[in-house]
Amino acid sequence: MLVIGLDAATWDVIKPNIERLPNIKKIMNEGKASTISLKQKPWSPSVWCSMFTGKTPEEHGHHDYVKDGEIVGREDIHSEFIWDLLDRKGISVKALNIPFIVPPYNYNVDFEPVANGVPVETEELLEEIEKVTEKALEILKHDKPEVFIVVYTALDKLSHHHWGEPILVDFYRKVDEAIGKLIPYDQEIIIISDHGFCDYHKAPIRTLPPTTPKGEIKGDHHPEAILITKNINYEIRQPEDVYYAIQNRYGV
């Protein structure tokens, strides 16, 4: 099974530009596409944590990257993740660049993230897409795990400052190209975002102030996430259902 996370991906950009995103279009045509309306706050650390622990934020207790002035690490989250379960059951699994902590978490993978996992500049975001894709292909070609989970974070960081601008569609095209390189390696696929995105002034929850040292904030998180599945026989309605979809597939 291949799980591809697209931090902040939204149908509001994908659907109007679908002809420019041939690989996303291909998976949508071959599988199923839907919207996840989040019940929890559309906040990356807690949503990604829910997705791979099968627990709500109230259950896993992980709400932010920083707690009491200290950066939260994996050891501070007292929950088992799907990769822990699979590995214990003898099912080969690798996870790359999962952004529920900073820097993003890797399981059974040696990876040095761009800018310590918090790239901001356009060049850094492009480099992140390239490096994550390069490492993902190395894993898929040579290690061939039963389950591989990878997340791209560039869309989130770019959308805050460039919502509504042409450059955002260019980055969706870059991510689409990356997806096109990964999907030939598996027939069971989940593509999912942790939340959507919208105009800053329409965001139900604002995660950043109106201006930052990098300039005006134009977009922010929206509670409608994307979901595309191919050959997944488990209904995913909320992020935590991804955990159970994998668990169900491998009978663990």
pLDDT in tens, 121-170: 999 999 999 999 999 999 999 999 999 999 999 999 999 999 999 999 99
pLDDT one-digit tens code per residue, 20-46: 999 999 999 999 999 999 999 999 999
Among the four given CATH numbers 3.40.720.10, 3.20.20.370, 1.10.599.10, 1.10.8.80, the one describing domain 2-250: 3.40.720.10
How many Cβ atoms from other residues are within 10 Å of residue 59's Cβ? 13
SS (H, E, C) 43-56: CHHHHHHHHHHCCC
Contact between 151 and 7 (Cβ < 8 Å): yes
Cα–chain-centroid distance for residue 221? 14
Long-range contacts, stretch 110-119, CB < 8 angstroms, 24+ apart: 111/135, 117/153, 119/153, 119/154, 119/157
Q: Where are the domains positioned within the chain? A: 2-250
Strand residues in 49-203 grouped as ranges (E): 66-67, 70-71, 93-98, 105-107, 147-152, 189-192, 196-199
Q: How far, in Å, CA of 83 to CA of 200, rounded?
A: 35
Dihedral over Cα of 78, 81, 84, 90: its sign: positive
CB of 186 closer than 8 Å to CB of 30: no
What pLDDT, in 10s, does the model give residues 207-234?
888 988 888 999 999 999 999 999 999 9
- Distance, in Å, from the CA atom of 132 to the CA atom of 81, rounded to the nearest integer, reads 21
Determine the pLDDT at residue 214: 80
Contact 153, 47 (CB under 8 A): no
Q: Tell me the pTM.
A: 0.97
At 104, list the tokens. Answer: 């993003």
Average pLDDT over residues 177-185: 98
Q: How far is CA 114 from CA 55, 77, 119, 166, in A?
A: 29, 24, 6, 24
Q: Which two tokens stand for residue 40?
A: 């929890």
